[in-house]
């Protein structure tokens, strides 16, 4: 059609009439070249700007924002799971904390047999129970949840807590003049070996410091190392057994300073639970 021709003519006319566009013919002369230049510089500029922005994004945002977004994601997840639990979540954590700071104290032989029996009729079981009851009271007074357990307590099966400690005493019979003091050990094959070893170190250290009793090295027996409770409790629960003294040479101390005996044991448990440092060399 002629319409195009007409409009072209019109445009031509307008251009020619417009003095401001008088340069256009000159521009027309370089028309084949200029757009190329324009595209090249524009392209280069775009590339540089993009590179600058990307670089800025990385340098400015990477360290902080990734961590932040990680935290945000975790918080969002936590909120989601809290909502899924119907708002019970805030109460779940303290419960789990309580379970993880729960303490089981086994009064050796209690509920089972008398253990060692002295000539005056005093049994190891009753002394163990007296000590264990005092340890329990001291820890409960500090806000801990403490189970006083029998030797073969049903609660020991799968027991979940920070610590299980079994309290025993050594023989009433005179052995020799070196038969004084205490010893502590953990199982050789529990899952939480490191935790149990630290528990042993904590109790040995605090018990020696507070009671002044010597560590009776070399008298840890298989009865201690392969103590039944070690294999009954939950594997993540740290466990140890203490023979807190000899009922022969340490008898007066054990019966007259029972509170100090209990204090030494409680301090050892707290050392472990509170991750306190051990300074002296009373470790076995
Ligand atoms: Zn015993």
Q: What is the mean pLDDT of residues 242-258?
A: 97
Kindly state the percentage of the chain with pLDDT values over 90.
Answer: 51
121-143 pLDDT, tens digit per residue, is 999 999 999 999 999 999 999 99
What's the distance, CA 195 to chain centroid? 11
* C-alpha of residue 169 to centroid of ligand 1, in Å: 5
Give ion ligand 1 contacts, CB < 5 A.
Answer: 108, 115, 168
> What domains are defined for the chain?
94-273 (3.40.630.40)
The answer to whether the beta carbons of residues 271 and 283 sit under 8 Å apart is no
The answer to whether the beta carbons of residues 171 and 221 sit under 8 Å apart is no
Instruction: Say if pTM beats, i.e. exceeds, 0.75.
Output: no
What's the distance, CA 57 to chain centroid? 36
* C-alpha of residue 49 to centroid of ligand 1, in Å: 80
- Provide the β-strand partners of residue 148: 105
* C-alpha of residue 201 to centroid of ligand 1, in Å: 21
Q: How far is CA 191 from CA 71, 109, 117, 228, 272, in A?
A: 32, 25, 35, 15, 17
* C-alpha of residue 280 to centroid of ligand 1, in Å: 27
Predicted confidence band at 194 (pLDDT cuts at 50, 70, 90)? Answer: confident
Predicted confidence band at 162 (pLDDT cuts at 50, 70, 90)? Answer: very high
Q: What is the pLDDT of residue 149?
A: 98
């Amino acid at each position: 059609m002629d319409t195009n021709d007409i409009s072209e003519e019109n445009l031509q006319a307008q251009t020619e009439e417009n003095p401001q566009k008088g340069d256009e013919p000159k521009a027309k002369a370089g028309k084949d070249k200029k757009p190329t230049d324009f595209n090249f510089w524009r392209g280069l500029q775009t590339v540089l700007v993009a590179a600058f922005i990307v670089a800025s994004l990385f340098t400015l945002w990477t360290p902080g924002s990734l961590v932040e977004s990680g935290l945000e994601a975790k918080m969002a997840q936590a909120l989601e799971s809290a909502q899924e639990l119907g708002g019970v979540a805030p109460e779940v954590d303290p419960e789990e904390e309580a379970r993880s700071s729960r303490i089981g104290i086994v009064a050796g032989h209690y509920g089972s047999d008398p253990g060692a029996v002295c000539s005056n009729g005093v049994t190891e079981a009753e002394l163990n129970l007296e000590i264990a009851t005092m340890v329990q009271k001291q820890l409960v007074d500090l806000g801990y949840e403490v189970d006083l357990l029998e030797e073969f307590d049903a609660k020991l099966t799968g027991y979940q807590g920070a610590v299980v400690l079994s309290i025993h005493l050594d023989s009433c019979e005179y052995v020799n003049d070196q038969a004084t003091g205490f010893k502590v050990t953990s199982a050789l094959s529990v899952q939480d070996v490191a935790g149990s070893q630290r528990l042993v170190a904590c109790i040995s250290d605090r018990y020696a410091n507070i009671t002044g009793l010597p560590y009776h090295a070399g008298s840890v027996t298989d009865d201690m190392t392969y103590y039944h409770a070690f294999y009954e409790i939950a594997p993540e629960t740290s466990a140890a057994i203490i023979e807190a003294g000899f009922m022969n040479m340490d008898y007066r101390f054990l019966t007259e300073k029972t509170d100090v005996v209990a204090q030494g044991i409680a301090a050892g448990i707290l050392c472990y639970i509170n991750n306190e440092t051990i300074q002296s060399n009373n470790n076995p």
